Structure 1
Amino acid sequence: MSEDSTGETTEDIAFGGGVTLVGTSFGKAAKFGLNVVLGQVLGPSYYGAYTVLYGVVSLLTDVSLFGMRDGLVRFLPKYDTGENTRDSEVLVLSLGVTLGLSSATALLLYFSAPDVAALLLDDLQVVREVRVFALAIPLYAIVLWGAAVAKGAEFTGYYTLVQHIIFPGLQLVLISVLLTVGFELWGAVYGFLLACFGGVLSVSYIVVKCTPEFQFPERFHVTKPLLSYSAVMLLVGLSAILLSQTDKLMLAFFTDESGIVGVYTAASLLAAQLSIVLASLNAAFAPRISSLYTRDRTRDLSEYYRTVTRWAITITIPPFILLVTFPEDFLVIFGDEFASGQLPLVILSAGYMTNIATGPAGTFLRMTDGHRVEFAIVAFTVASNLLLNAVLIPKYGAVGAAIATGVSIGGSNVVRTGIIRGRFEFTPYSRPVFKPLLAGGIVGILGLWIQRFYEVQGPLAASSVALPLCLVYGGIVVVLGLEPNDKEVLKSLYRRLIDG
């Protein structure tokens, strides 16, 4: 790869990933803040009940969308030629499918609420909450549909506004207010319903802004290709949601206490924050890797892949060290009762770090004609995760769920990396990746020494230790030497900041 090509490539990764990171940070912070509020106010038992019911609603809403979020992103740009109304056909058909399926799903959950409450929570007192969640399904589906319209119409700003700012912000504010005045679990569920109402109002305005040339179609020509594509993406989406919710739902099924689910959910939420950097880099990585693959620029593809992996590892190592060194001190953010989740937090963090250490392998496969292989891997991962949870939870409880999920998350990307190596004859690693690993090893030992010989209690104390540890880590990385493309990116970002 030429020097100019390298600079352009790495600058695009950094800037694109940075923009995405900034755009999604508010949403991540709002969701995390909401879960902290729920944990603090509701306690482990009711917090666990809320997360289980929310997981059910998320799964049913994804079924109701029938893969149309991906279908909109795929077909709106394809038919946006100004010469026909097929983009309008996509809008009407996707909305009709979403409204029909979400309404039917909501009715099914509403009338089966007693059975759901008994099966998952062993508590008939939450039937009312299940039914309120059921009423929210059509509204929630419309919010996600509207965000997908903005994304498919290439109004990224509107998409980010709805998906990562307005809707998460409404949930945080409304649920917090209702909890503050004493409504507890009932208030949390009603707050979600009200946030969905607000989200529908916002997406209604945004969809109109994003589709100024909409014309109601007289006939539909896109029914078969849209439904065929969306059906496949539904399976992929369901597999991903099942993978993210299986541990919590099966823990609720095999245990009698929703408090265990609440503690485990807090640990899972903290560990999941480790993936933020890789997810942000992936957003910038996906279109570029597709372009390089199409032009058969294998050498540039290899460099791109290794750069993203190295940056993801370098940036994620410090928070990983903090979570595994001071797990109890971060868990008490949710409340003192959540401190018992420290072992699941350590196990899950190790699983996520393994996933990050193998780089953006899933995105790489999807963007290089490996989407069928990717679906097979996801399906196998879901099946193995179900089996591992079924075997380990009855014996080890929350720790068993963490082992099952950590192995599934980490192991699937190891398999992807092997497949990529077989197809392209390169791996996501190069010599420079050992610099952050060495720095992380040194700082990890230092963190364990501090944890053993000094009393660190609570998130504030752990945060006060975090800053010097991160400075030491960064100093070691700099002393070991930055790569030429790292220096070029830093210079470029500095120029962009100076230029406004």
Structure 2
Amino acid sequence: MRFSAVQTADRFLPEKLTRQLHPWLLRLDALLDGTNQHAVAQRVSLIAFGIRIISAAIALLSQVIFARWMGQFEYGIFVLVWVTVVILGNLSCLGFQTSIIRYVPEYLESNQLNRLRGILFTSKIFAISMTTFLALAAAAGIYHFRDALEAYYVTPFLLGFVCLPMIALGDTLDGTARSRSWVLVALTPTYIVRPVLTLIIMSIAHAAGFTPTAIIAVICSIIATYLTTLVQLLVVNNRFKSVIPPGNRSIRFGEWFTVSLPIFLVEGFFFLLTNADVLMVGRFMEPDKVATYFATVKLLALVHFVYFSVKAGAAQRYSELIHTTDHAQLAAFARDTARWTFWPSLAMALVLLLLGKPLLYLFGDEFTEGYPLLFIMVIGVVARASVGPAESLLNMAGKQKICAAVYALTLIVNICLSIVLIPAYGLTGAACATAFSMVFEAVTLTLTVYKRLNITMFVFAGRVIEKPAKEEV
């Protein structure tokens, strides 16, 4: 028997209150039980949002414990190494983790099962082989230039590169599961299981008497990542066995790579953009400052993950609407996703500004230095939320090249501002560079979506202009 908010209210609430709540309860029932694709996208986004809330709580707890155990300096080393490894692992997929979201619905709709089997196989093999090569090359580079690096970074980086293949495979499995709207299978391993396992293994190491250094933290992260990704691989493969019968594979690597490469540029520039500030702080400042800045950014993730949650539910729906050539419905859905992103982000930003100082105090007394930075960076996060997952819409519409150009330009702006402001103003300079870059990104994406797709994707926009989208030049 399915749950009905309307029937429950009729049974337990006063009649007058039920009448007032009736329109909202009908919407809730449509969201929970709707079978149309719009309701499915909302439901996926809501589930993803819930996962990210749980993930944020777990991440905050684990990072607080790590910072307390390791101290600011060792924690700063671990942060810089792990952020670098995650960036490299994500980039080495070369866009396959996102392009597969586009191809799986297309091949299922057209019953091209040979191609579907081919891209599922190719994406995983490509991710593992590319990252294995990259890990060996990066380790060789670190070892060769070890005398030019701070000694405390060498061993943690060499160990961290062991994790690259599993991070890339996990990102690919994430995209594969999202292509079928299996949001729990897609997001739970990376955002819940892996951090919980890392904390458990780190706790065991701490209880066993190991000194909580950056090296120990990296080793614990490696073990947790391998266990999580291999189990996720088994789950995703078993799920697809019920969708696709055994058969031949059609490998069209050239076609897939041609589409994936521009997406890689978009995803790569975006991923670098969201993490470049931590890397730039690590370039100009000591590990203790990196630790303070990262703790502040970690709190901001409580706001920013609203965007990622909406993106998780919207990407597949964008692809479906684009293939139906229903521009009006696509435009309406795009504006909906902007609203879904902005208002929860704004609410969470206000709460974060109120609670930011005591939350930073959990990391340690010295981490409260990052509290003023929240007021600067939250401006950029809210501005970015006002346009929703605009780059995902551009990717699904085949506008990868212009989207990549937008992110390349934004990344250049961020790096140039960081080089100028961080040496002069320290962490405040880093926060200003990040906030300005995100505002610049939001404005540029809005203008690009309007120009290329004739969709006004902004939370406060007026009526959508109903014209066919322009062809890519």
Shorter-chain TM-score tier: 0.7 to 0.9
Distance 1:117 1:319, change over 3 A: farther
In structure 2, the partner of 1:242 is 272
What is the aligned length?
425
Matched residue SS, 1:252: helix
Q: 1:103 aligns to what?
A: 132
Show the counterpart of 1:28.
56
- Pick one of 87, 102, 108 that aligns with 1:59: 87
How is 1:68-467 mapped onto 2 (pairs within 5 angstroms)? 68-80=96-108, 85-114=114-143, 122-152=149-179, 155-180=182-207, 181-184=209-212, 185-212=214-241, 221-255=251-285, 257-289=286-318, 303-325=332-354, 327-421=356-450, 424=454, 426=456, 428-430=458-460
Change in CA separation of 1:418 and 1:12 when aligned onto 2, cut-off 3 Å: same
For each residue in 1:133-173, what CA deviation from the matched residue of structure 2 results, as whole angstroms up to 9, or x when unmatched? 12222233333333334334554443234333333332232
- Contact 1:153-1:210 at 8 Å conserved across structures: no
Q: Distance in 1 between matches of 2:457 and 2:135?
A: 46
Please say if residues 155 and 210 of structure 1, whose CA atoms lie closer than 8 Å, have aligned partners that are also in contact.
no
- Give CA-to-partner distance per residue, 1:354-402, whole Å, 9 cap, x none: 2123444334444455433322211111111111111111111111111
- State the one-letter code of the partner of 2:369: S
Deviations 1:38-96, CA, capped at 9 Å, x for gaps: 22222221121111111221222124322221243333444457775333332343333
Give yes or no for contact 1:179–1:187 (8 Å, CA) kept in 2. no
1:38 partner letter: F
TM-score w.r.t. the length of structure 1 is 0.74
> Residues 282-315 of structure 1, C-alpha deviation per residue, up to 9 Å, x if partnerless?
3334444555566666665555444444454433
- Name the CA shift for 1:264/1:91 in 2 (closer, same or farther; >3 Å): same
Distance 1:320 1:250 in 2: 24
Query: CA, structure 1 residues 59+214, in 2 after alignment: closer, same or farther (shift >3 Å)?
Result: farther
The AA in structure 2 aligned to 1:39 is: A
Gaps of at least 5 residues in structure 1 are: 433-500
Secondary structure of 1:378's partner?
helix
Q: Counterparts of 1:44 and 1:214 in 2: how far apart (Å)?
A: 53
Aligned equivalent of 1:487: none
1:365–1:374 contact (8 Å) kept in structure 2: yes
- Using the aligned pairs only, state the percent identity: 22
User: 1:496 is matched with which residue?
Assistant: none
Unaligned runs of 5+ in 2: 1-25, 31-35, 463-473
CA RMSD after TM alignment: 3.3
CA deviation after TM superposition for structure 1 residue 106, in Å: 1.6
Say which SS state the counterpart of residue 362 (structure 2) adopts.
Answer: coil
Per the TM alignment, residue 131 of structure 1 is displaced from its structure 2 partner at its CA by 1.8
**Worse overlay, 66-75 or 303-312:** 303-312
Q: What amino acid does structure 1 have at the position aligned with 2:169?
A: I
Residue 48 of structure 1 corresponds to 76
CA contact (8 A) 2:44 2:183 kept: no
Q: Following the alignment from structure 2 to structure 1, what is the Cα–Cα distance between the partners of residues 267 and 198? A: 23
Structure 1 residues 342 and 82, CA gap change in structure 2 (3 angstroms): same
Cα distance in structure 2, aligned partners of 1:74 and 1:352: 27
AA in 2 matched with 1:251? V
Deviating more after overlay: 264-273 vs 360-369: 360-369
Residue in structure 2 matched with residue 484 of structure 1 by the alignment: none
- Structure 1 Cα separation of the partners of residues 119 and 38 of structure 2: 36
Give secondary structure in 2 for the equivalent of 1:66. coil
Question: SS where residue 363 of structure 2 aligns?
Answer: coil
Q: Deviations over 1:224-258 (max 9, x none)?
A: 11222222222222212211221111211122x11
Q: Using the alignment, how far apart are the partners of 1:145 and 1:13 within structure 2? A: 20
CA spacing shift, 1:71–1:10, aligned 2, 3 Å: closer
> 2: CA distance between counterparts of 1:48 and 1:335?
13
Q: Could you tell me whether the CA contact under 8 Å between 1:327 and 1:346 is conserved in 2?
A: no
1:175 is paired with a residue whose SS is helix
Q: Which residue of 1 aligns with 2:22?
A: none
Q: Structure 1 residues 322 and 427, CA, compared in 2 at 3 Å: closer, same or farther?
A: same
Cα gap change, 1:51 to 1:302, in 2 (>3 Å): same
**Secondary structure at the residue paired with 1:112?**
helix
C-alpha change, 1:49 and 1:295, in structure 2 (3 Å) is same
Distance in 1 of aligned mates of 2:263 and 2:177: 19
Secondary structure of 1:59's aligned partner? helix
Contact 1:278-1:359 within 8 A present in 2 as well? yes
Deviation at 1:182, TM superposition (A): 3.9
Note the C-alpha offset of 1:418: 3.2
Distance 1:17 1:103 in 2: 33
CA contact 1:34–1:176 (8 Å) conserved in 2: no
Secondary structure of the structure 2 residue equivalent to 1:183: coil
1:453-482 Cα distance to aligned partner (Å, 9 max, x none): xxxxxxxxxxxxxxxxxxxxxxxxxxxxxx
Structure 2 distance, partners of 1:426, 1:233, is 22
3-state secondary structure, aligned to 1:69: helix
Looking at structure 1, the residues matched to 461 and 183 of structure 2 have their Cα atoms a distance apart, in angstroms, of 36
TM-score, structure 2 as length reference:
0.78
Partners in 2 of 1:14 and 1:390 — Cα distance? Answer: 41
Inter-CA distance 93–299: structure 2 relative to 1 (3 Å threshold): closer
| 1:133/1:274 CA distance change after superposition, 3 Å | same
Amino acid at match of 1:163: T
Secondary structure of 2:458's counterpart equals coil
Residues 310-360 of structure 1, C-alpha deviations (whole Å, 9 max, x = no match): 454433333322333454322112111101112222211121122123444
Larger deviation, residues 332-341 vs 370-379: 370-379
